[in-house]
A and B are shown apart, each in its own frame.
Chain A
């Protein structure tokens, strides 16, 4: 990909190239212009949205990144506000899945809470014009002015495609602007085109139906017009409804309309047409003519290159091996590369704690700041470099186009467990956080497949588990290196992620064979071309993740550290003064509110080899999993020693059972604890979003309750098997 490629500009100014040669502007200088962005999946809609609005919505080189409408705005040079709505990607104006329904509702004006858009910006992948023009042609019949952004224009040029933009404008009858959204090229022209388009008449259908078919559809069109649709939109909708394989939500219950559709289908069949194919046949016939006249291909270098890479990446044997090797490299890097940065943060936290301790007078307030805030929040903050490295790798894989290949590789496995291949993208999102992962299930059409995916997404190890794994692996797994920099610590981490993934697949198989039984549907997956990741976009994405991590540390984790410190400090009780100082502190801690709660919990966790401190840390981590680490940090009160994570790890290794004198924390206990966290749903936010996405109300709560219950049972059972099995095998030391 050449960095010097420039966007081909239209030969005449935008605005003079519009339908009918008219130009115009919106009447009211102060009015807000409402623009909806629509396009096929993975055409760069969100990148364009970000470039227009200055926002930083998540982008990725695979379909289904945006699953809901997102709003933003910008101002034109003369100060007019333009509201922009980024809609989920769709191949056509159908409403098969919840995310497609969102787009259809907005464009057809079914979204009663909002105003309809005044202009639609259709984002088209310039390298795949033929496929993208199907949706474009549908949108052009909605009775709303349209602007087409010919995005990824540089990729099309690199693929050897020459697009005659003025001819395309002539063919479509709307403004067409070549863009490279990731570099901000063409954005100002798009803004200007949107402003002008608002004052223009809406485009019209660019092809004609056979007269007989038009006549048969006339009553159906009349009914749709009678229900409030614009005539042009009604013609588009009538044609579209013929192809719908099942009744869409917005027409369900409209028996008269459905009857008319049925009658039209019968009449068309009688006239020798194939009603279900009629729309695709007439539209693609028109598209074929348009692309013949506007696109010429000089070579196939781009697709050739992607194809050559795919022969290795998607190979039946090499593909999965490359996937596993990549993951092993990522997880080992999380340990190796992060170390200098971790040490720097540890040093900073330690010096900060010492500075505050030296400045504040002795007393409970100093204890709160040093043992609560510095020990608690500091013990989590040290994991920031690892979060950054993990998300840099995930971003690289997403932007390069590899994630879509990973989904393809996993499709065979997904089908075996009964899930739709589309389920893998939400599951991949779950590696970052289960909440957006669950929301990403909106791309799945079948409600049972969607629910099954929602139920298993939290088993994918999210980034909140990373501090727990890292603390325990760093403390109890020796840093042995085997080959090419990959060692036992990285492999253990990989093992935890694989365990979660396999458990998710197993649980999905059970759900799909019991409560959510249903047919397995084939997946149609668009494999995007390989692209060099944009460093800017990568940096923005990593910075955003770091900011979110810091925000959690500064809000939830800080608040909980303060509350837990108070619980670990009060009530003050009399202690045996004859005991050594450390034993006195231990006695005070055991008599504190936190100690009493912990001792009440202890019988439940004792079979897993845990003491009350682990038990209470697990309970506290229901707010956020990282809180496990901060709670341990607070309980052990290591803030005044500095070097939080290492000190906490050392303290865990040195901890002895007061009765037996044996080590409290062994490698076996650590592995059991990690296994517990692989399976346990310790996240209040995930429960909340499951309730909502599973239907809300009582049904939503029932599914969320089942999810929490089965995951807790799985976590407890697996941790018990690991611990007891390890003891039986003599691995308890």
Chain B
């Protein structure tokens, strides 16, 4: 039983990790099409404003 739970937890963790990496690859590919956008979502600091980026211009 312990083995089964361990296995399930491992499968879940590895699945989440794979999903995250897949999402990163997808976003990197998508970024190649956004010619006006900035940053690469790589966490390297190139994204303008980061999480604090305001959207006031789009809202008004």
Contacts and interface: CB of A to CB of B under 8 A. Distances in A.
Main secondary structure of the interface of B (DSSP, over half): helix
Contacts of B38: 68, 439
A365 B44 contact: no
B28 A684 contact: yes
Interface in A200-216: none
B48 A57 contact: yes
A114 B46 CA distance: 22
Contacts of A54: 52
Contacts of A685: 28, 40-42, 44
A325 interface: no
Nearest to B19: A559
A405 interface: no
Contacts of A726: none
A308 to B, nearest CB: 35
B52 A55 contact: yes
B21 to A, nearest CB: 5
B45 A545 contact: yes
A394 interface: no
Contacts of A697: 33
B55 to A, nearest CB: 8
Interface string B2-22: 110011011001101110110
A688 B40 contact: yes
B49 A72 contact: yes
B48 to A, nearest CB: 4
A544 B13 CA distance: 29
Given A32-B59, A435-B40, A692-B32, A73 B21 contact: no
Contacts of B31: 688-689, 692
A559 B24 CA distance: 11
A81 B40 contact: no
A551 to B, nearest CB: 5
Contact of A57 (B2, B39, B49): B49
Given A72-B53, A364-B6, A433 B32 contact: no
A71 B48 contact: yes
A570 to B, nearest CB: 9
| Most chain B CB atoms below 10 A, which of A32, A114, A551, A692 | A692
Interface residues of B, number: 44
Given A72-B49, A72-B52, A696 B3 contact: no
Interface stretch (A330-338, A515-523, A560-568, A656-664): A560-568
Contacts, number: 135
Interface in A527-574: 544-545, 548, 551-552, 555-556, 558-560, 562-563, 566
B1 interface: no
Contact of B44 (A368, A436, A563, A700): A436
A225 interface: no
Contact of A548 (B18, B21, B43, B54): B43
B10 A364 contact: yes
B33 A696 contact: yes
A548 B44 contact: yes
A692 B53 CA distance: 21
A562 B14 contact: yes
A58 B45 contact: yes
Contacts of A556: 21, 24, 43
A563 B14 contact: yes
Contacts of A432: 45
Main secondary structure of the interface of A (DSSP, over half): helix
B4 to A, nearest CB: 11
Contacts of A71: 48-49, 53-57
Interface in A28-80: 32, 34, 53-58, 68-73
Contacts of A365: 6, 9-10
Contacts of A691: 32
Given A363-B6, A696-B35, A433 B56 contact: no
A482 interface: no
A435 to B, nearest CB: 4
B43 to A, nearest CB: 5
Contacts of B50: 56
Interface in A7-25: none
A623 interface: yes
Nearest to B13: A562
Nearest to A551: B43
A688 B60 contact: no
Nearest to B23: A559
A85 interface: yes
A605 interface: no
A361 interface: yes
A220 B57 CA distance: 32
| Most chain A CB atoms below 10 A, which of B13, B38, B40, B60 | B40
A115 interface: yes
Contacts of B13: 368, 562
Nearest to A701: B32
A400 to B, nearest CB: 21
A499 interface: no
Contacts of A278: none
A83 interface: yes
A114 B33 CA distance: 20
Given A545-B45, A556-B24, A73 B56 contact: yes
A523 B27 CA distance: 37
Given A32-B60, A685-B28, A73 B42 contact: no
B16 to A, nearest CB: 8
B32 A696 contact: yes
A57 B52 CA distance: 10
A697 B33 CA distance: 7
Nearest to A556: B24
B10 A566 contact: yes
B57 A114 contact: yes
A114 B58 CA distance: 7
A436 B46 contact: yes
B57 A34 contact: yes
A115 B57 contact: yes
A115 B57 CA distance: 7
B21 A688 contact: no
Contacts of B10: 364-365, 368, 566
A466 to B, nearest CB: 13
B18 A563 contact: yes
A73 B9 CA distance: 43
Contact of B48 (A68, A548, A563, A623): A68
Given A70-B49, A115-B57, A560-B21, 13 more contacts: A54-B52, A73-B54, A81-B56, A85-B57, A114-B58, A115-B60, A433-B44, A436-B46, A544-B45, A551-B43, A556-B24, A688-B28, A688-B32
25 contacts: A32-B56, A32-B59, A34-B57, A54-B52, A55-B49, A57-B48, A72-B54, A73-B54, A81-B56, A83-B57, A363-B6, A365-B9, A435-B40, A439-B38, A439-B46, A556-B21, A559-B18, A559-B21, A562-B14, A563-B17, A563-B18, A685-B40, A687-B28, A688-B29, A700-B32
Interface of B: 2-3, 6-7, 9-10, 13-14, 16-18, 20-21, 24-25, 28-29, 31-35, 37-46, 48-50, 52-60
The 6 closest A-B pairs by CB, nearest first: A685-B42, A83-B56, A691-B32, A559-B17, A562-B17, A73-B54
